[in-house]
A = this chain, B = another copy of it.
């Protein structure tokens, strides 16, 4: 058996090591275009910042080590230029000697990776404009930073972009992020990125959303990044982190099937359309674990597993690729954001039915010092409660909960399973009701109908659908008005209940005018069940404050002819209020995740 592997980083190196363990006799040729094999791609930004101080730390292994330990025929600085499928050989260019030769294979594994996009923007090839893929790239970027640049522009606010931003700031660079989307970290849902955006701003990063570079121009002592919207940004260092495209040229030239977004098509054994050619890693199109549809996700974990699986199949060991969940995590200035499975926007785009809940728990028992908060969003199937995706952002413990939910997703578990999970609890590590249990309680309660919930954005849109109503619903401290309200309630029709919490003189006319044109019942009554102090510190536009502990005694203040949308800070008291109200005949629902969720959609400042 003669196995040739093209690409020696994550998927390729994993395939080679696995192949050797499965077969001492196979000839294994590992062809790598660059000088390094199996380097730590994910660590590159931290070498720029100095967190990883020694460059050799980034070299997970060396060609020499692979030769000695795994008896691999490692050929670095060697580029595979073409595949001859008929004769089962590849043409290799030795870049150092500039010689070309052919190498026969019985089986071929393509692990060429994906290349950073360099969009055809005028000036893109000016010095000072970098992408980040390998050690040579990071050497250039680090040299620029070490050389004393003071202003950096990072185009693209994804994983690599934001990791570089953090490290640039650490090195003292004034840093601007330019992102085409209206949010940072595009794989996440926008509202879940609000804390990341706030953190970036707090660290002095200028974040320009919905913007893109139109041209790069040479300027005195550096560059100018001209934005489509007009303004120009000075910089001595520009990073392009706007995505990657699969390195598919070899595959396309050889006539292998390639997907619409360029990924090499493979089956669940990582076999391409040629029965002797496998492909793995960032270059392939795989199956999305949740939707079952095609996907391209450049992640190290899947690449390693795919390499292992290709070797398994070649040497008769079992295993099949289950699809990619897209489990990922990023740290940004100490904030942690992680996700697994489908996002809400993907579910919407694919018309997949879903429900969602938000919770805002602490990572461990609140009574033990040092608890850090997080916001967690869970997406699930409304029919059977199956988990479709999860996202979390916050401090310590975010990665743990997403890993737990990633396993639950893989096991095709439901929100009902989350309720029953038995996780490790001591006050430093979790809560007797872990955030994952809480997410299960809230989601399962929604599906069982015990805990009707509405989305804060939908409620506010409803509440604001008639302009006159929006102003009318502006809430004030209700406790001073109880008597007035009670008087009103006795003498006026039910619609008057809607008015408590506002200045009565101004608003009655507006409401009556409005009531003629749109049924009052269509607009939700926003009920804030927090304490007056919490309410005073900020609340939903139009909300009325009745603390949950007073609610039973003040039920007459809540209108019976309109939907009631209750909320508190994180959803717990709002849930109890919803239960109280529904059992008393009100058409009540809880605004999922409460005021904290509102603030994800409408960040302060």
Cβ of A425 and Cβ of B325 under 8 Å apart?
no
Chain B residues with Cβ below 8 Å from A399 are 400, 424, 429-430
Residues of B within 8 A of A53 (CB): 369
Q: In the complex, what residues of B have CB within 8 A of residue A575's CB?
A: 21
Q: Is B406 touching A403 in the complex (CB atoms < 8 A)? A: no
A295 adjacent to chain B (CB < 8 Å): no
CA–CA, A429 and B22, complex, Å: 30
- CB neighbours (8 Å) of A603 from chain B are none
A43 at the interface (CB under 8 A from B): yes
Q: Which of B331, B426, B548 contacts A331 (CB 8 A)?
A: B426
Chain B neighbourhood of A432, CB < 8 A: 10, 42, 300-301, 303-304
Given contacts A317-B448, A429-B331, contact A69 B549 (CB under 8 A): yes
Which residue of the partner chain B has the closest CB to A408?
Answer: B407
Chain B residues lying within 8 Å of A404, measured Cβ to Cβ, are: 403-404, 407
Report Cα–Cα, A159/B426, bound state, in Å: 10
Question: A54: nearest residue on chain B (CB-CB)?
Answer: B367
Contact present for A365 and B318 (CB under 8 Å): no
The listed residue with most B CB atoms (<10 A of its CB), out of A42, A421, A422, A434, is A422
A68 to B43, CA, bound (A): 53
Contacts of A317 in B (CB 8 A): 448, 450
What residues of chain B lie closer than 8 Å to A144, measured between beta carbons? none
A60 lies within 8 A of chain B by Cβ:
yes
A5 to chain B, nearest CB (A): 17
Given contacts A369-B52, A408-B411, contact A69 B576 (CB under 8 A): yes
B426 touching A580, Cβ below 8 Å: no
A427–B42 touching, CB < 8 Å: yes
**What B residues does A576 contact at CB under 8 A?**
20-21, 69-70
- Asked whether A305 is an interface residue with its Cβ less than 8 Å from the other chain, the reply is yes
Q: Is A419 an interface residue (CB 8 A)?
A: yes
Residues of chain B with a CB closer than 8 A to A580's CB:
24
A252 at the interface (CB under 8 A from B): no
Q: Which residues of B contact A70 (CB under 8 A)?
A: 576
Q: Which of A133-161 contact B (CB under 8 A)?
A: 159
Tell me the A1-39 residues at the B interface (CB within 8 Å): 10, 20-25
A427/B329 in contact, CB under 8 A: no
> For the complex, is A101 an interface residue (Cβ under 8 Å from B)?
no
A317-358 near B? 1/0 per residue, CB < 8 Å: 111011011111111000010101000000000000000000
Bound Cα distance A575, B69 (Å) = 12
Contact yes or no, B327 A427, CB < 8 A: no
Complex Cα–Cα for A552 and B57 (A): 28
- Are B428 and A407 in contact, CB atoms less than 8 angstroms apart? no
Query: Which residues of B lie under 8 Å from residue A289 when comparing CB positions?
Result: 422
What residues of B have a CB within 8 angstroms of the CB of A68 in the complex? 549
A601 to chain B, nearest CB (A): 25
Pairwise interchain contact B329-A367, C-beta atoms closer than 8 A? no
Please measure, in the bound complex, the distance between the C-alpha atom of A300 and the C-alpha atom of B429, giving whole angstroms: 13
Instruction: Find out whether the CB atom of B42 lies under 8 angstroms from the CB atom of A426.
Output: yes
- CB pair A421–B426 under 8 Å, yes or no, is no
Residues of B within 8 A of A318 (CB): 448
Binary B-proximity of A445-483 (CB < 8 A = 1, otherwise 0): 000101000000000000000000000000000000000
Does A402 make an interface contact (CB < 8 A)? yes
Distance in angstroms between the alpha carbons of A70 and B576 in the assembled complex: 8
CB <8 Å contact, B365 and A69 = no
- In the docked arrangement, what's the CA distance between A122 and B432, Å? 37
Q: Are A417 and B427 neighbours in the complex by a CB distance under 8 Å? A: no
Alpha-carbon separation in the docked complex, A22 to B448 (Å):
12
A291 located at the interface, meaning its Cβ lies under 8 Å from any Cβ of chain B in the complex: no
- Mark contacts of A273-304 with chain B using CB atoms, 8 A cut-off: 1 yes-contact digit, 0 otherwise: 00000000000000001000000000111111
A420 part of interface (Cβ distance < 8 Å): yes
Residues in B with CB closer than 8 Å to A42 are 365, 425-427, 432
Instruction: State the CA gap A338–B422 with chains docked (Å).
Output: 13
The CA of A550 and the CA of B424, in the complex, are separated in Å by 44
List B contacts of A324 (CB < 8 A): 422
A367–B24 touching, CB < 8 Å: no
Contact with B along A231-268 (1 / 0, CB 8 A): 00000000000000000000000000000000000000
Q: In the complex, are the beta carbons of B25 and A425 less than 8 A apart?
A: no
* 0/1 interface trace, chain A 36-72, chain B, CB 8 Å (1 if under): 0000101100100001110001101000010011110
Q: Report the minimal beta-carbon distance from A79 to chain B, rounded to whole angstroms.
A: 25
The smallest C-beta distance from A56 to any residue of chain B, in angstroms, reads 9
Can you pick out 21 interface pairs between chain A and chain B where the beta carbons lie within 8 Å of each other? Answer: A20-B579, A21-B575, A23-B583, A24-B579, A40-B365, A43-B368, A52-B368, A289-B422, A301-B432, A301-B437, A302-B422, A319-B420, A324-B422, A327-B424, A329-B425, A338-B429, A340-B424, A399-B400, A406-B421, A407-B413, A411-B411
Given contacts A69-B576, A403-B424, 6 further A-B contacts (CB under 8 A): A43-B368, A51-B369, A65-B549, A71-B552, A329-B426, A408-B411
